[in-house]
Amino acid sequence: MKPIALDAMGGDYAPRETVAGAVMAAKEGVPVVLVGQKAALEAELARHSATLPIVDTPDFIRMEDHATDVRKRKEASINVCMQLLKAGEASAVVAMGHTGATLASALFTLGRIKGVERPTLLVEMPSEKGKVFLADGGANADCRPSFLVQFAVMATAYARANGVAEPTVGLLNIGEEDEKGDQLRLETFPLLKAAPGIRFVGNVEGRDIFKGTSDVVVTDGFTGNVVLKLSEGEARTILKWVREALTGSLLSKLGALLVRGSLQGLRAKMDPAEYGAMPLLGVEGAVFIGHGSANARAVHSALRKARSAVEAGLVERIRSGIAQLVVG
Amino acid sequence: MKPIALDAMGGDYAPRETVAGAVMAAKEGVPVVLVGQKAALEAELARHSATLPIVDTPDFIRMEDHATDVRKRKEASINVCMQLLKAGEASAVVAMGHTGATLASALFTLGRIKGVERPTLLVEMPSEKGKVFLADGGANADCRPSFLVQFAVMATAYARANGVAEPTVGLLNIGEEDEKGDQLRLETFPLLKAAPGIRFVGNVEGRDIFKGTSDVVVTDGFTGNVVLKLSEGEARTILKWVREALTGSLLSKLGALLVRGSLQGLRAKMDPAEYGAMPLLGVEGAVFIGHGSANARAVHSALRKARSAVEAGLVERIRSGIAQLVVG
């Protein structure tokens, strides 16, 4: 397998955390090539007494730069990552940080899979049944019904690549009955019902996401992004309240000591760093985009996730799903 | 103060829970009139050795009935509640259960406040700073920018009536910068910025809701309803996971006993029954709509909330806020 190109300059804590995460992944046998400023990356590698291949790129996109800057700055690290992927010298791209720039760079350099109207960011969320795959996580604020059908097909392909044999698909809506929702949902429902290659189970509601009523949840990128950020924020607040409740009195302080280990597992389950990065589905290559605030563990998770996706033939799966849709 | 008309037949556990809740509220001095089937209500009252005024209505809207049924069935309990309010014989209406029917009945019987394009359901959510007032909670799936501006004005009036002196207003969006979001948000932003009588603080994101970044959060009814149901579902799932984590081992079982009391307070904070019901803002009268699954405690909370709203002059506040907007 060709190495995964990591934009080592992307994210709030780059290159320290990106390099640390890459070293962790490489130790497990994940092939990685670092893309970024050579001197800075070598200094970080030295701290770990590690060596990794480096592609030297002096320029990189800062968090405060505009997404459209990738069109002018061809030699920026994120663009070089995509060029390596396109040339077949890398098997995937992982970038933490500037979502807009990564999206633009992927679209511009790799292009869309034939038949895909809009690529989608897929979000993995914890649920009572394991995992829920939500699309779109924020790549497309305004959506047409056909976009949502394609999100369903692409998310189904991703869920299958992640070991879910027959993923069920729900349309996120404000009622369970078929005739519910706004104009977009009313028009999307019959299209999903008729779409080949997906297992549509009807409307699901906000409360169904954490219940895990369906494996895949489809929505527009505005709603999906609100869902993603609300669920992260709520988890953080509730776990904070739990901590406060547990340290409120001397008696409960003692109890808190006894339950600490049990709660750590739960905190890990709710931690975005565990999920590492979101796949960008629908472009010609395996691309993963992580939080700007990613730490080494998140980078590590993202690289592992990218390797699994490549091994499971993610891009081919999406290609064939979309082809079936276009023919059907 | 005129009594609050309670649709005693509404909700999954009516009339048992509605009557029990009404009795609890009446004991605290909240004036209530029960609207529903007299014999059934008297039987429930007898269980509490209580007496309350009753308006006898043989018909009532079932959960499985259509919202539009309220147009034909003039004598249904929810319609009679609204007629009492319109005639000045009741000061407010509280109905648990059929949201669509209650909305339709309020619009049909009471009508909208002059200048209001669409009434809104307001949701109160817990936050790290206390409470967040979110509108729209689901009354309007498809929204125009002007609707959102009116929601902001009406939610501001409600927050003021609830003791928030200068409520800040955020537009729920997928980024903090001014130029973010879908078409609806891009068009709404400058209107909110220019609107008189509200304290607009710009865009807020999903993660800001539980943080309490702004007192009021404005969004369309589709997104708002997803937020409402997601946040309830997530809280339920996380607290379930906390319980499971706490009873996983013998050591943590002992700890769990010690922390039980502390966690009960937290569970109450996250319990929708505490919030009782959502006000319907923008109709000519104080109307509160609760969960279909409401228990006596939720009915009790809803009746108390309705009394506070009447005492704080909610409808007049909304009238003057909207008038200012129309003139401005």
The pLDDT tens digits of the residues spanning A273-296 come to: 666 799 999 999 999 999 888 899
**What is residue B273's predicted lDDT score, i.e. its pLDDT?**
61
Give the span between the Cα atoms of B271 and B264, in whole angstroms.
Answer: 10
pLDDT(B270) > 90 = no
**What is residue A4's predicted lDDT score, i.e. its pLDDT?**
98
The mean pLDDT value of chain B amounts to 93
- Whether B229 and chain A come into contact, CB under 8 Å, resolves to yes
Per-residue pLDDT tens over the stretch B241-255: 888 877 776 666 777
Per-residue pLDDT tens over the stretch B134-157: 999 999 999 999 999 999 999 999
pLDDT(A115) > 60 = yes
Instruction: Give me the residue from A182, A207, A251 closest to B229, CB to CB.
Output: A207
Contact: B226, A205; criterion CB under 8 Å? yes
Per-residue pLDDT tens over the stretch A257-272: 767 777 777 777 777 6
**B183: chain A residues, CB-CB within 8 Å:** 141-142
- What distance in Å separates residue A202's CA from the closest CA in chain B? 16
CB pairs under 8 A between A and B: 188
Who contacts B18 (Cβ-Cβ below 8 Å, separation ≥6)? Answer: B6, B7, B8, B9, B10, B11, B34, B36, B96, B294, B296, B299
Contact: B128, A240; criterion CB under 8 Å? yes
**What is residue B272's predicted lDDT score, i.e. its pLDDT?**
65
Q: Which pair of structure tokens corresponds to residue A285?
A: 């290559």
Contact: B223, A221; criterion CB under 8 Å? no
**What is residue B167's predicted lDDT score, i.e. its pLDDT?**
98
Contact: B242, A234; criterion CB under 8 Å? no
Q: Measured on CA atoms in the order A171, A174, A179, A185, is the torsion positive or negative?
A: negative
Q: Which pair of structure tokens corresponds to residue A181?
A: 């929702």
Contact: B182, A127; criterion CB under 8 Å? no
**What is residue A250's predicted lDDT score, i.e. its pLDDT?**
65
- Whether B117 and chain A come into contact, CB under 8 Å, resolves to no
**B225: chain A residues, CB-CB within 8 Å:** 174, 206
Per-residue pLDDT tens over the stretch A4-32: 999 999 999 999 999 999 999 999 999 99
ipTM of the complex: 0.92
Of the candidates B276, B313, B267, the residue with the CA atom closest to the CA atom of residue B25: B276
- Whether B91 and chain A come into contact, CB under 8 Å, resolves to no
Give the span between the Cα atoms of A182 and B141, in whole angstroms.
Answer: 5
Contact: A262, B249; criterion CB under 8 Å? yes
Give the span between the Cα atoms of A158 and A301, in whole angstroms.
Answer: 17
- Whether B239 and chain A come into contact, CB under 8 Å, resolves to yes
Contact: A233, B206; criterion CB under 8 Å? yes
Domains in chain B (CATH in brackets) are 1-116+282-312 (3.40.718.10), 120-272 (3.40.718.10)
**What is residue A251's predicted lDDT score, i.e. its pLDDT?**
66
Contact: A261, B252; criterion CB under 8 Å? yes
